[in-house]
Structure 1
Amino acid sequence: MAKIFNENTVSFKQKLSPIPEFAWQTSERLAEIANSKHLVFDIRSLDPDKYSFPYHFHRNAEEIFVILTGRAMLRTPEGFTEVSEGDVIFFEMGPEGAHQLYNHTEVPCRYLDLRTNQGIDVCEYPDSGKINILPYQEIYKADQQADYYKGEEQIRDKWKGMEDHT
């Protein structure tokens, strides 16, 4: 069954962060309401002089913004560009798809945020060196990366007593 969402049927919830520059309003669980299996989507409203999520990219999700009303500045690895009503912006997986919005105008910028969902995603934040395991919101510092076999040196000690079971 088709689900239709618009300003009359969507309610917004204010999302605040401990850093006041990051604040936006987001629609409530549209993908869940639609019973979506592979897409996650929300309508977001970015108030004047506010930033969207921290500058980031996804390892296992593609993302599209459709600017519904207003304008904003888009930050990508290529630099800064203004986006406005009617623009459709695609972000590929990996560092090349890094992005962030800033509303440099006096009016809210509303946009559809649409992304693929394949279960687990890893979101990386180049400015702060963090890694976020989604959907669990487990956040780690990337500079703590370890060798695959670190801590595995004493494997034979873990198997002591195996002889009793053979």
Structure 2
Amino acid sequence: MTSVPAAAATIPPPNKKTVYPHPFASRVAGRTKRRLGDHFGLTNFGVNLTELAPGAVSALLHHHSKQDEFVYILEGTPTLVLDKAEYALEPGDCVGFKAGDGVAHQLVNRSHEPVIYLEVGDRTEGDETSYPYDDLKAVFLNGGWQLTHKDGRPY
């Protein structure tokens, strides 16, 4: 943690690439997050500089019960998936996801170039993340994500 300015690209990604359990972790294998907010000790919200390799996805299609999210595209041309609708994005585009609206979302890099974007989300205790097409449930408790099957069984 520091308050000294840093070049975002020099902040190393965490050793653990994802909180997703097997078999879901492989689906985000081409994603790299640099946890900028954590680097500066921020606790109320997170800021990530995220890169998607060609063919990679940002996350499993999901929505949050309590967490607002915001994404700003810096480089590349990802596809935004909102439930069953899709939108082509380009640098300078942004999108917000309101907590509790039930609209599932993810970014997909269908291009041949990397996609780089900033993502911002709050860290509301008790947030539940729903995955409409996967047997997965995530709850944010005690400062971290707890992931289970939808029926509550652990992975």
Correspondence for 2:112 among 99, 103, 106? 106
Q: Which has more radius of gyration? A: 1
Correspondence for 1:71 among 66, 77, 101? 77
| Structure-to-structure mapping, 1:1-166, within 5 angstroms | 4-12=5-13, 15=17, 18=23, 20-23=26-29, 24-27=31-34, 29-77=35-83, 79-134=85-140, 135-142=144-151
- Matched positions, count: 143
Output the CA distance in 2 between the equivalents of 1:128 and 1:47. 23
Q: Cα distance 1:99–1:71, how it changes in 2: closer, same or farther (>3 A)? A: same
Output the CA distance in 1 between the equivalents of 2:32 and 2:135. 26
Q: CA deviation at 1:106?
A: 0.7
Output the CA distance in 1 between the equivalents of 2:38 and 2:152. 35
Of Structure 1 and Structure 2, the greater helix share is in 1
Please report the RMSD computed on the Cα atoms of aligned residues, expressed in angstroms.
Answer: 2.6
Calculate percent identity across the aligned residue pairs. Answer: 23
SS, match of residue 57 in structure 2: coil
Q: CA deviation at 1:18?
A: 4.5
Q: Cα distance 1:101–1:8, how it changes in 2: closer, same or farther (>3 A)? A: closer
SS, match of residue 39 in structure 2: helix
Poorly superposed stretches of 4+, deviation over 6 Å: none
Q: CA deviation at 1:99?
A: 0.6
1:43–1:110 CA contact under 8 A, matched in 2 = yes
- State the partner residue of 1:155: none
2:136–2:148 CA contact under 8 A, matched in 1 = yes
Q: Tell me the TM-score normalised to structure 2 length.
A: 0.78
Q: Tell me the TM-score normalised to structure 1 length.
A: 0.73
Q: Cα distance 1:140–1:12, how it changes in 2: closer, same or farther (>3 A)? A: same
Please, which moves more after superposition, 60-69 or 2-11?
2-11
Q: CA deviation at 1:11?
A: 2.6
Q: What letter is aligned with 1:77?
A: D
| Gap regions ≥5 residues in structure 2 | none
Q: Cα distance 1:140–1:47, how it changes in 2: closer, same or farther (>3 A)? A: same
Q: Cα distance 1:143–1:32, how it changes in 2: closer, same or farther (>3 A)? A: closer
